[in-house]
Structure 1
Amino acid sequence: MTDIAVAEQTTKLIGPGRLVLVVGPSGAGKDTLINAARTLCADDPAIVFARRVVTREASAAEDNLQVTPDDFSRLEAAGDFALHWRAHGHAYGLPRGLDDDIRAGRTVVANVSRMVIDPARSAYANVVVVLITAPAEVLAARIAARARASDGSITDRVGRSVAAHPDVTISNVGDPIAHARDLLEIIRHGRPQP
């Protein structure tokens, strides 16, 4: 069961900045493209990459803050997350500080579960959902290559289907730098540029 929540529902949507939610199946290369986009725009103070708080060990490709389940529960109870969810036996959260960045007009980029899209759209004025995907055989090969114990069954991970209703889809097959540039255009402009 997946548990999701927006920490604070208000009648006024949080803005004027943009929240770019990067979603997609395991093995799609979300972290690869996010990390490459981060490098490409490292000198742009208007773009912030949210660091997730997670109750599992981060891999080399992820920029997560690892916490114990008890610590996560304490942070959650204290209202320290802007968005949080539970999936795959772990808890994930985005620090509340991202709200300040969005209020200041910055663009915040976050790797999230597809399950938080609707709650995020209910809380933020400008949300862009980017679905990163790849063919099933590519997903399976990538999941197998990273050999992360918490991934569980590759067949289950590849076979899972959750509606994302993205604004933009990037098929991450081929040159990841080219796809990272596509992602960066979406981050900067809210949509791909011609």
Structure 2
Amino acid sequence: MTRVDSAKLIYVMGPSGAGKDSLLGFARERVGTRVMFAHRYITRAAADGENHIVLSHDEFASRLSYGLFAMHWESLGLRYGIGIEVDAWLARGMPVVVNGSRQHAELALARYPDARFVHIDATPAVLASRLARRAREDARQIEARLARRPSFELPPHARVVKIDNSGMLADAGTQFLDVLSLASCA
């Protein structure tokens, strides 16, 4: 593996409905090419506001067998991957934003020990409203999703910033831009 500056990796995570994709879009519009936003490779169709590359299960398995993912995980029957291009960008000193998973944040920390972790969240009422607007799940499924919200903790040495995205996108967006600015200077 090429030597990378893991301090420039920003690993974004949070529950469904927290507004991660909206926040990433907000930041992308404002930082231009100074920051790289990694695509996620996912074995499901794209939805509104989501920036990912759709792969079949066979395509995903093939890429995985060739070592083309820096990180990968499974959740709710879907497979997610972050391409190895992030290592090339980090090796060149570029800040890189990854839309990750809370359940797999420790794996990211093991690979990128100096990464910055950003946990995006919102109040349960806001999460429920956003999930209902997405219309991927019915009311009973949304209620069950919110009830099983797993707690997560990273080791004390991990650099974690928590952002509440319950209100105006610009408020949370400004906080996220501050994190990106820190990574750019690292």
User: Structure 1 residue 41: deviation in Å?
Assistant: 0.7
Asked if residue 32 in structure 1 is aligned to residue 29 in structure 2, the reply is: no
Gaps of 5+ in 1: 1-9
Q: Name the structure 1 match of 2:181.
A: 188
- Overall identity of the aligned pairs, in %: 33
**Structure 1 residue aligned with 2:79:** 91
- Over aligned residue pairs, what C-alpha RMSD do you find? 2.3
DSSP-derived class of the 1:53 partner: strand
Q: Please point out which of 137, 141, 155 is paired with 2:143.
A: 155
Deviates most, 86-95 or 120-129: 120-129
Does the 8 Å CA contact 1:20/1:187 hold for their aligned counterparts?
yes
Write the letter of the residue equivalent to 2:29.
Answer: T
Which residue matches 2:11? 21
Task: State which drifts further: 51-60 or 118-127.
Answer: 118-127
Q: Runs of 5+ in structure 2 lacking a partner?
A: none
Tell me how far 1:125 sits from its aligned partner: 4.2
Which deviations, in whole Å up to 9, do the C-alpha atoms of 1:153-185 show, x marking residues without a partner?
212322221404361100102110221121011
User: Out of 132, 138, 158, which is 1:144 matched to?
Assistant: 132
In the other structure, the counterpart of 1:57 is 45
Q: Could you say which residue in structure 1 is the equivalent of 2:63?
A: 75
Question: What secondary structure, in the 3-state scheme, does the structure 2 residue paired with 1:153 have?
Answer: helix
- Runs (4+) off by over 6 Å: none
Number of residue pairs matched by the alignment: 179
Partner Cα separation in structure 1 for residue 141 and residue 91 of structure 2: 40
Q: Deviations over 1:83-116 (max 9, x none)?
A: 0000011000001000000111111101111122
SS at match of 2:132: helix
Distance 1:100 1:30 in 2: 24
Task: Identify the residue that residue 5 of structure 1 maps to in structure 2.
Answer: none
> 1:110 matched to which residue of 2?
98
Q: Which has the higher helix share?
A: 2
Q: Per the alignment, in what secondary structure is the counterpart of residue 35 of structure 1?
A: helix
Distance 1:180 1:116, change over 3 A: same
Q: Does the 8 Å contact 1:58/1:64 carry over to 2?
A: yes
Q: Distance in 2 between matches of 1:149 and 1:171?
A: 23
